[in-house]
Amino acid sequence: MKEVEMKKINEPSREIPITNETSVLVVGGGAAGLSAAIAARRMGCDVTLIEKYGFLGGTLTSVTLGSFCGIFTVTEDSIKPVVKGFQEEIIERLKMYNGVSEAKRWLKTASVPYDTTSFKRVADELVEEAGVQILYHTLAVSVIKEHNQVKGVIIENKNGRSAIMADVIIDASGDGDIISMAGGEYSVGDNGITQFPSSMFRMVNVNTEKLSSLSREEVTEYFQKAVNDGYPLPRVAGGIHLNPIDHVVHLNVTKVSNEGEVPINPLDTSQLTYAEMEGRKQVFLYERVLQKYVPGFEKARVIDIGPSIGIREARLIKGDYTLTSDDVLSCRKFEDAIACGAWPVEMHDSGNKTRWVWIEPGNFYTIPYQSLIPARLENVLMAGRNISATHEAQASVRVSAICMAMGQAAGIAAYLALSQENQVRHISVEKLQKLLLDNNAFLP
């Protein structure tokens, strides 16, 4: 088949205004970016945070995730937090609005259910109280680079195209957009094979008393029965989280792929568009199945689908150190540890069930500061699911609580870098660790 050459035009050169000059610029207001911005601001930095949506939280709100994962290390007898700091503060603030429930055990782990609308409220309050300058509905579209430093970011929003100049930049975009634009090295998944995304949703009028009596395994059996009866469910093992609001549940049960279980390319807009539409089709398929097969859902209906499909993996940025699955599963403790995690390696790959690889009960691993530093860039840090990690390690480190811990570390590291000519490699890691502990973070 003959290739058709893409038509092109020349975009005219133009001057654009510098609308902001800031000490620390955070790109992306998800779990990592939110905590990074507030941490840096509380250290006294001028901080600007840009976010593409009209609210903060990233996956926690735009996907309607419904449960904070990655907080605890779990044994048969105990549930102990290995993420504190900003995550703990968020939970305490949510309690003021009845927006969070007690930790709930499931499989070999535990998580904390929360209400997404309450989270938006709390996030707004915290950035406002801290004095973070925030720009909603704003996209980062290019970078201003000199040698190995990113001097600023070009943005677009309703005001048009402009530039924000910054001393230190934190890429918390989830996809590593800033580092990619700056020429940073990255891979996409495992040789281009990424984890399957999910469209998540909420249902109302659920008889939660009936539902609470069911085990996760029993729900899987009901889904499997539906498959046996001809319903084409792509996934039979998923998460159903009780919302703090009575008779409302969050569901993480869909699995979106191209035909033939070919993974979605999360960096291709046409594939993302397909994924959003396919995900919504799956939501209503699961609604019918839940109503027909699963006790407690007889009168339930979908009331909300996340504004965005849940992307688990895109760019994996090459950093000064790449966290590996061996590091995670052996519970390695790094000398330059800046965050901890105990979430299993959670693989959403081929097949109709999630594949879990568990770490030692009661133990945890650490994330080194080096994994937050992109190779060959001097004044840029990264936090969240785009840190330097292998495909397998990222399947553990990407969850929300661990992202918050990384964000808090990145925000304080940015503050320290300002006194080191913005060189993120020149900071004292010992001082970073002390400041994290002073701010109630958990470290070994």
Both 139 and 210 in one domain: the answer is no
In a domain, 102, yes or no: yes
Q: In angstroms, what CA-CA distances link 433 with 36, 71, 87, 337, 444? A: 15, 19, 17, 8, 10
Over residues 40-75, the pLDDT tens digits come to 999 999 999 999 999 999 999 999 999 999 999 999
For residue 63, what are the domain limits?
Answer: 18-190+313-347+361-438
The number of domains in the chain is: 2
Look at residue 355 and tell me if it is in a domain: no
Token reading at 415 = 């503050």
Residue 13 included in any domain: no
Q: Please indicate, yes or no, whether residues 370 and 397 belong to a single structural domain of this protein.
A: yes
Q: Which of these three, 240, 271, 305, is where a domain ends?
A: 305
29 dihedral zone (left: phi>0; alpha: psi -120 to 50; beta): alpha
Whether the CB-CB separation of 102 and 111 falls below 8 Å is answered with no
Residues 6+ apart with CB under 8 A from 434: none
Rg (CA), the chain: 21
In a domain, 333, yes or no: yes
Residue 3 belongs to a domain = no
pLDDT digits (tens, 9 = 90+) for 189-217: 999 999 999 999 999 999 999 999 999 89
Q: What is the CATH number of the domain that holds 413?
A: 3.50.50.60
Q: Both 27 and 73 in a single domain? A: yes
Beta strand 201-204 pairing with 301-305: antiparallel
Cβ atoms 344, 359 nearer than 8 A: yes
Does 167 map to a domain? yes
Q: Which residue has the tokens 């976010």?
A: 51
Nearest one of 221, 205, 187 to 375, comparing CA atoms: 187
Same domain, 157 and 247: no
**Nearest to residue 50, comparing CAs of 145, 188, 152, 183?**
152
Dihedral angle at the C-alpha atoms of 208, 213, 217, 221, nearest 10 degrees? -80
Q: Both 334 and 379 in a single domain?
A: yes
Do 157 and 279 lie in one domain? The reply is: no
With beta carbons less than 8 A apart as the criterion, state whether 404 and 81 touch.
Answer: no
| Domain match, 239 and 174 both | no
User: Do 148 and 245 share a domain, yes or no?
Assistant: no
Q: Are residues 240 and 338 in the same domain?
A: no
Dist CA 351 CA 295 (whole Å):
25
How far apart are the C-alpha atoms of 91 and 254, rounded to whole Å? 27
Flag whether 6 is in a domain: no
Burial bucket for residue 192 (CB in 10 Å: 0-12, 13-18, 19+): exposed
Task: Give residue for tokens 């009575």.
Answer: 246
Same domain membership, residue 317 and residue 299: no
Q: What are the structure tokens assigned to 57, written together?
A: 């939280």
Report the 10 Å Cβ neighbour count for 204. Answer: 16
Per-residue pLDDT of the chain (444 residues; tens, 9 = 90+): 456 788 999 999 999 999 999 999 999 999 999 999 999 999 999 999 999 999 999 999 999 999 999 999 999 999 999 999 999 999 999 999 999 999 999 999 999 999 999 999 999 999 999 999 999 999 999 999 999 999 999 999 999 999 999 999 999 999 999 999 999 999 999 999 999 999 999 999 999 999 999 998 999 999 999 999 999 999 999 899 999 999 999 999 999 999 989 999 999 999 999 999 999 999 999 999 999 999 999 999 999 999 999 999 999 999 999 999 999 999 999 999 999 999 999 999 887 888 999 999 999 999 999 999 999 999 999 999 999 999 999 999 999 999 999 999 999 999 999 999 999 999 999 999 999 999 999 999
Tell me phi and psi for residue 146, to 5 degrees. -130, 115
Same domain, 44 and 156: yes
443 is a domain residue: no
Residues 135 and 70 in one domain: yes
